Amino acid sequence: MPVLNERAYLRRAVETVLAQQVDGPSELILALGPSTDGTSELARELAAAETRIALVDNPAADIPVGLNLAIRAGRYPTIVRVDAHSELEPDYTRRALSALDRVGAANVGGVMRAEGRTPFQRAVARAYNSPIGLGGGAYHGGTQEGEAESAYLGVMRRSVLDEVGLFDESIRRGEDWELNLRIRRAGYRVWFDPTLAVTYWPRESWVRLARQFSATGRWRGELVRRFGRGNSLRFFAPPLLVLTLLLAVVVGVVQATGVLHDWWAVAASVVYLPIIAYALLVVVVALGPGGGRGWRDKLWTAGVLPTMHLSWGWGFVVGLVRGAHDTVDTSRLGTRNTPLP
């Protein structure tokens, strides 16, 4: 479990891991980044009270670095990746181990079941759980068991990780997708089991959400640069939305100047149609069934969806053109250089 500034969530996440119903020994290794909110102190308190918890330092705070440090420190043949922002059902690991053996997979994952505590966080969770929000990947609400492109978090055979290599530490976002690509290219199965569910708590503010999705989109652009057609077509929808919006702005400026003749001005207006359709879709989703506990949830949903899509899409365009370089997810920090108080 890589950990950074997660004091509000860490204790519960650890409790759900320690409560796993598994036959045989287990351990929980926390890779501690340089937190500023008391997370590391809480982690040491938890480790002092439970012999199954081990701590490793992750001064770089990069997720793939922390994951590799934790994996190398581990003693057992199965790796269960856990997020400090998540909670596991008591039988999660047992079911995953059964699926690994039943289908002969190298990695098994289930459904990310996002939940929220505030109107904003509930709106983000609703977007996560909707195929409109994150593009309909299997682990965002899939119901059909089978081979998958990637796995959320993942329960993995260590022998396969040793064979294909651990997480690529040069990839700071999307590292799980890239690892699963190597696993599949090595001839192993990545498996989706919808009976496995992990509760995930999304970012708590608009700024943090935008930072998270911008960084993730930029790294997806980098992954497209590196792996080309290995990427699913669904990843290209948000950047197409961004480019359509930019084109609409250009067309609007040209129309306002009167440069285009009447017929051409009308023809150019077709660029607005997909934007209008998208806006209507957002409104329908925000007002539709499961819209939350009240009008604030619905309003936040209408704001969250474009924030996710446009932040991710713009990040993708920048990453595709310029690469990701040293882009990091600053959504757990106050600013790019200043930690949260």
Q: What is the pLDDT of residues 15-66, one digit of tens each?
A: 999 999 998 999 999 999 999 999 999 999 999 999 999 999 999 889 999 9
Structure-block tokens of residue 296:
């604030």
Confidence class of residue 84 from pLDDT cuts 50, 70 and 90? very high
C-alpha to C-alpha distance for 150 and 191, rounded to whole angstroms? 8
pLDDT for 331 equals 83
Structure-block tokens of residue 95:
């079911």
Neighbours of 93 (CB within 10 A): 20
Confidence class of residue 260 from pLDDT cuts 50, 70 and 90? low
Structure-block tokens of residue 257:
């100047």
Residue 338 has pLDDT above 50, yes or no: no
pLDDT for 217 equals 95
pLDDT for 292 equals 57
Q: What pTM, to 2 d.p., does this model score?
A: 0.88
Look at the block and give the residue holding tokens 């310029």: 322
| DSSP character string of 47-84 | HHH-TTEEEEE-TT--HHHHHHHHHHH--SSEEE---T
Residue 242 has pLDDT above 50, yes or no: yes
Look at the block and give the residue holding tokens 């190597």: 182
Half-sphere exposure of 63 (CA within 13 A, CB side): 18
The kind and range of the H/E element at 251 are helix 237-257
* Interval 191-210 mean pLDDT: 94
Q: Amino acid identity, residue 47?
A: A
C-alpha to C-alpha distance for 26 and 46, rounded to whole angstroms? 16
Q: Flag the least confident range among 29-33, 178-182, 229-233.
A: 229-233
Average pLDDT, the chain: 90
pLDDT for 264 equals 67
C-alpha to C-alpha distance for 287 and 136, rounded to whole angstroms? 20
C-alpha to C-alpha distance for 125 and 236, rounded to whole angstroms? 22
**Contact of 175 with 68, CB cutoff 8 Å:** no
Distances in Å between the alpha carbon of 327 and those of 59, 266, 293, 319?
Answer: 17, 42, 36, 9
How far is C-alpha 290 from the chain's CA centre? 22
Structure-block tokens of residue 175:
């590292």
The kind and range of the H/E element at 308 are helix 295-322
C-alpha to C-alpha distance for 259 and 248, rounded to whole angstroms? 15
pLDDT for 268 equals 76
Structure-block tokens of residue 64:
């793939």
